[in-house]
Structure 1
Amino acid sequence: MPTTPATTDDRSSVRTLLRLWPYVRPVRMRLLTAAFIAIGASCVGLVIPLVLKWLVDGPVAEHDPEGVWLGALYLLLLGVAEALLFGLRRWLVARPLAHVEAEMRAGLYRHLQRLPVAFHDRWASGQLLSRGTTDLMLLRMFLAFPLTFLLVNGVTILVGVVIMLLQNWTLGLVMLAPAVPLIALSAVFEKRYAHAARLAQDQVGDLTTVVEEGVLGIRIIKGFGRHRSQARAFRELSGRLRGTELRKARLLATIWAVIMALPEVAIGATLVVGAVQVADGSLSAGTLVAFLSTALALRWPVESIGFLLAMSQEAATATERYFEVMDAEPETETVPALPSAGSSGTGLRFENVRFRYPDAPAGSPPLLDRIDLHIRPGESMALVGATGSGKTTLTALIPRLHEVTEGRITLDGQDIAELPREDLRAMVAVAFEEPTLFSASVADNVLMGAGATAGTDELNGALSVAQADFVHALPQGAGTQVGEQGLSLSGGQRQRLALARAVVGRPRFLVLDDPLSALDVHTEAAVEAALRQVLAGTTALIVAHRPSTVLLADRVALLSGGRITAVGTHHELLRTNVEYAHLMSGRPTEEEDDDR
């Protein structure tokens, strides 16, 4: 994935942030209540200068000590009220915003599970991980603070300006002089900061990917002594992220310096003009004190504009990144179709199937072209072909991990495109060449391939078929946690557990992608003997590279050049097909000789 989007500068931050409304709507009343409370707290703060005016022009000017103490009490009560109201606002938003973040994260995870395999092939896992963690944290922070205070500070500034103009309009105009340059500067800052924020968040995703790959591939890194080069690559990415963060800091420092300097200059000018008016008697000292106190009370709302805009831009970028995933089209579901009349018991059939990856260059030849293949009910067929011939891709079409480009695949006469994926995948079990295990117990990993009612008997039966008796010697037996990716086990052990997962549910159709490649000769023979009993009652397609695996099948299909070029028994193809004989003998074909 590219790290810098082409459309960042053209998008509307407000329009992007409005996409959060469906998530915020359930808690909108608490957020609105919190906003009104914060506005009330700010308005209480603006009453303090008016009390000061009364105090200076009244009790202080009249030398009334009791009035001074009364004014001090009023100021104390107003300060306590302001603090309590802000505390109440924070309490109101904490729980609902944590709920919003949790709902968005759960929605992202659910959506990721529904996206096609082609999507996951294109996206780095670190980019997806950063969207579910860092980006959602930024959104929660935005909803908790900047969203509210953009409104609160806007109202506070408006009310404060009205109060100042009512007290003295000439001083008010002096204070308003910096408004125009501040607005223009904020517009420029928003555009530049948006680009830097997007770049930084994408670079965080890239860095997360490197960390994840480094952890999962630690054995390779150590085995080949590549820790220095990996550390160097990490430092380079980290350096780029550092540079982008420094650029953000420079932008924020620039606008903050200007935002702080202009109001200070305006306050200084106001003090001079006001002092002159007090000296000539056209303005009371209390009014000047109240005006300056109001201006000082507005310093925080004005000075906060810079980082509130920065946080809003980061939130808009996080929202954009979140919906880049949420907008991706999930696997389309089909309306369940009634079985065709007389279609039961016809097995697995490929009819003129073509497949080209969705992101393949236009005009490129299909990876699979006009595949016609029939596996009869209860029959096991081995699929043989050279490396890169498309065997794994063909097997992935059966559970609809990829969708056929043309043609159709039928199970017992019914087009798999007309079957709901949940029903289809309940009928078809798969064991991939690369066995993937989850950070869970052995039992949980194996029973993923069975129904909810499966128990110990089914588990032990599947472990027996896969010759995975090593499980019983583990510290907690089948309850032992296998660790991330199952890397605490050997390759052969992981492969046997993946095979057990495939057969535990006694599926009607079984797809095995070179399921015995990591086993030693003796274990392979034992697994094959047990697997024959399972294959006797199911329709199976087995990707095979070795004669021992081929002999598990009733017939063999040869995949070459994206097409099925021969079908027959193992011995028939050995006699009649040169390419097949070369593949089974392990000797290179003529094409491979030419490549050398």
Structure 2
Amino acid sequence: MTGTEEEKPAAQRRSTVRSLLRLWPYVRPVRGRFLGAVAVATTASAMSLVIPLALKWIVDGPIADKDPSGVWLGGLALLVLGVLEAGLFGVRRMMVAGPLTGVEARMRAALYRRLQRLPVSFHDQWPSGQLLSRGTTDLMLLRIFLAFGVTFLVVNGLTIALGFVILLLQQWTLGLVLLAPVVPLVILCRYFEVSYSRAARTAQDQVGDLTTVVEESVLGIRVIKGFGQHRGQERAFAELSARLRGTEMHKARLLGVLWGLIMALPEVAIGAALMLGMVQVADDHLTAGALVAFLSTALALRWPVESIGFLLAIANDAAAATDRYMQVMDAPLPSPDPAAPATAEPPLPGDGLRMTGVEFRYPDAPPEAPPVLRGIDLHIRTGETMALVGATGSGKTTLTALIPRLHEATAGRITLDGQDIAALPRERLRRLVSVAFEEPTLFSASAGENVLMGTDEAREEELLRALAVAQADFVHDLPEGHRTQVGEQGLSLSGGQRQRLALARAVVGRPRFLVLDDPLSALDVHTEALVERALREVLATTTALVVAHRPSTVLLADRVALLSRGRIAAVGTHQELLHSNREYARLMSGQEHHPQAEGDARR
């Protein structure tokens, strides 16, 4: 996901203009203020072209006639024009600041909403630092472009066009001399755009890679320190930093060459026009005031012309940032929730959870790879608890992710009380099914808020009940009880404490269907026994699928399903499978079996 533009097929490359035009839907709500600011800036820039005309009048009028009052009047006019120009530029800044920060905020909110709605398979493939850099660095570049770059590309372009019209009307021969560098400058800018856009995209991708390394280092600081790997992380960071610095230096060299030539060519043309103009003044073909006005106009155009390289760099950075932003916004969302059919399937209260011919393969798996899961037939009756057992890599976690539709089954059918989950709105499905994952992810919120994420009804009595079920009474001993902030990823808590909070989150909403992925793996023997005792009460009132690795967890279940090579190999009670299935007996004895073709390594 960090490929540069050079690695993309030519058909997928976008021009800078086409990329930037994709920002229009976000700018359209503030287009009135935006276009007004462009008009104000254009008027202010036009003032700089009026000043040379005032100078012509002063030189050929009051100065030539030795009229002091006229000189003072001319000086006052120049002062008013200068103050007016500065004031208008200040007004432009105030006009765009508020609306464009609003555009940035809306784009960031849209990106966040999109990330929340994109499927788990998308997040599996993208480094978090790449996504983070799109919501921070890239949007900052877009704000700079919209607030400054696009305005002055328009304003300076109009100023240059109007200025050359004035120059040609003043003295067309000298105007043609100043127009001579236009063709080489256009060729130069075209070459620069292609080269710089590649470098800009590469640099922004490298910022994403660097952000990923920093984020991983912060989150994994205990592992790094525990294994003494800080020097290795520093080397990895230094290598990525050096790579990014090299790309930025390449960008600086490109911009330096462009800017140097853009400044040099017009200066040569102005020098040539000055020499030719002085000859014409000496031959009385041109007045001194007309030459002063011509040169003042040419000098007034220096900044608009010299800024071309700088503005093109901003535009290319913004185009690359737009492409990266749209890469996420264009990512396909999961299939929309189905409309309610005219004849919906009636619920079958006693049917429980049923899988029929279920198959799954990861979207990025090679075509020749076998499915992770295939031919899964499983029935968990209402009120029954089934343990799911299998060797590492057999597909247990993948199977549990299909029930709440974190992944979509490739084939087959999954029903809850007779209703196909593919026909249920996701919001309703996830109210019916509650999940506790093997990795107990917590958020930068209070302990209570983390638990209540599992229900829409934030009642304290439900919170206290869930904490009791999960044997998470340690929460009451925290400095502020369940209102205590647990910190990023809950790292202020032990592994067992995090797992108990995650279990409380799963049971707080009293779900009809409960999916637990090895929920007791981080608990000590004593706490495990207490949690199991409380869990039995919860499991007695729900339909549950529990991924289990230890006999103590298996004993919570009414029946056990053995998953092997992506298939359900056997179903029965714990005692039945111990006596009838050698693979199950090996797993329960701790001698984990790894048959060939175990399935996807991501389980």
Instruction: Quote the Cα distance in structure 2 between the aligned partners of 1:282 and 1:213.
Output: 73
Residue 507 of structure 2 is aligned to residue 503 of structure 1:
yes
Query: Equivalent residue of 1:282, what SS?
Result: coil
521, 527, 547: which is aligned to 1:523?
527
Structure 1 stretches lacking a partner, 5+ long? none
Q: Give 2:134's aligned residue.
A: 131
Q: Quick one: percent identity of the two aligned structures?
A: 72
Query: Equivalent residue of 1:145, what SS?
Result: helix
Give matches, 1:403-414, under 5 Å. Answer: 403-414=408-419
Q: Give 1:3's aligned residue.
A: 3
Amino acid at match of 1:467: Q
Amino acid at match of 1:440: A
Are 1:8 and 1:194, in contact at CA under 8 Å, matched by a contact in 2?
A: no
Deviations 1:93-112 (A, max 9, x none): 00000000000000000000
Instruction: Quote the Cα distance in structure 2 between the aligned partners of 1:70 and 1:61.
Output: 15
Aligned residues: 591
Residue 265 of structure 2 is aligned to residue 262 of structure 1:
yes
Q: Give 2:298's aligned residue.
A: 295
Q: Give 1:96's aligned residue.
A: 99
Residue 158 of structure 2 is aligned to residue 152 of structure 1:
no
Are 2:516 and 2:547, in contact at CA under 8 Å, matched by a contact in 1?
A: yes
Query: Equivalent residue of 1:278, what SS?
Result: helix
Are 2:391 and 2:594, in contact at CA under 8 Å, matched by a contact in 1?
A: no
Q: After alignment, is 580-589 or 535-544 more displaced?
A: 580-589
Deviations 1:264-301 (A, max 9, x none): 10111111000011011110000000000000000000
123, 141, 146: which is aligned to 2:144?
141
Query: Equivalent residue of 2:66, what SS?
Result: coil
Residue 191 of structure 2 is aligned to residue 188 of structure 1:
yes
Structure 2 stretches lacking a partner, 5+ long? 597-603
398, 408, 429: which is aligned to 2:434?
429
367, 374, 383: which is aligned to 1:369?
374
Instruction: Quote the Cα distance in structure 2 between the aligned partners of 1:57 and 1:2.
Output: 63
TM-score with structure 2 length normalisation? 0.97
282, 285, 297: which is aligned to 1:282?
285
Residue 250 of structure 2 is aligned to residue 247 of structure 1:
yes
Moved over 6 A (4+): none
556, 561, 569: which is aligned to 2:560?
556
Instruction: Quote the Cα distance in structure 1 between the aligned partners of 2:180 and 2:593.
Output: 84
Query: Equivalent residue of 2:359, what SS?
Result: strand
Are 2:392 and 2:594, in contact at CA under 8 Å, matched by a contact in 1?
A: no
Residue 388 of structure 2 is aligned to residue 383 of structure 1:
yes
376, 390, 397: which is aligned to 1:392?
397
Q: 1:339 to 1:219 in 2, by over 3 A?
A: same
Q: 1:590 to 1:263 in 2, by over 3 A?
A: closer
Q: Give 1:225's aligned residue.
A: 228
The alpha carbon displacement at 1:588 in A equals: 4.4
Are 1:492 and 1:518, in contact at CA under 8 Å, matched by a contact in 2?
A: yes
The alpha carbon displacement at 1:417 in A equals: 0.4
Amino acid at match of 1:49: P
Are 1:49 and 1:291, in contact at CA under 8 Å, matched by a contact in 2?
A: yes
The alpha carbon displacement at 1:342 in A equals: 6.0
Instruction: Quote the Cα distance in structure 2 between the aligned partners of 1:12 and 1:562.
Output: 46
Are 2:389 and 2:396, in contact at CA under 8 Å, matched by a contact in 1?
A: yes
Q: Give 1:109's aligned residue.
A: 112
Instruction: Quote the Cα distance in structure 2 between the aligned partners of 1:590 and 1:11.
Output: 48
Instruction: Quote the Cα distance in structure 2 between the aligned partners of 1:217 and 1:388.
Output: 24
Instruction: Quote the Cα distance in structure 1 between the aligned partners of 2:408 and 2:48.
Output: 63
Deviations 1:512-549 (A, max 9, x none): 00000000011000000000000001000000001110
Amino acid at match of 1:569: T
Deviations 1:378-410 (A, max 9, x none): 000000001110000000000000000110100
Query: Equivalent residue of 1:304, what SS?
Result: helix
Query: Equivalent residue of 1:586, what SS?
Result: coil
Q: Give 1:340's aligned residue.
A: 345
Give matches, 1:171-186, under 5 Å. Answer: 171-186=174-189
441, 444, 467: which is aligned to 2:446?
441
Instruction: Quote the Cα distance in structure 2 between the aligned partners of 1:497 and 1:308.
Output: 52
Instruction: Quote the Cα distance in structure 2 between the aligned partners of 1:527 and 1:419.
Output: 32
Residue 562 of structure 2 is aligned to residue 573 of structure 1:
no
The alpha carbon displacement at 1:339 in A equals: 4.3
Are 1:8 and 1:198, in contact at CA under 8 Å, matched by a contact in 2?
A: no
304, 307, 312: which is aligned to 1:304?
307
Q: Give 2:469's aligned residue.
A: 465
The alpha carbon displacement at 1:4 in A equals: 1.1
Q: Give 1:13's aligned residue.
A: 16
Residue 484 of structure 2 is aligned to residue 477 of structure 1:
no
The alpha carbon displacement at 1:3 in A equals: 2.9
Deviations 1:466-522 (A, max 9, x none): 000100111111001010001110000000000000000000000000000000011
Q: Give 2:169's aligned residue.
A: 166
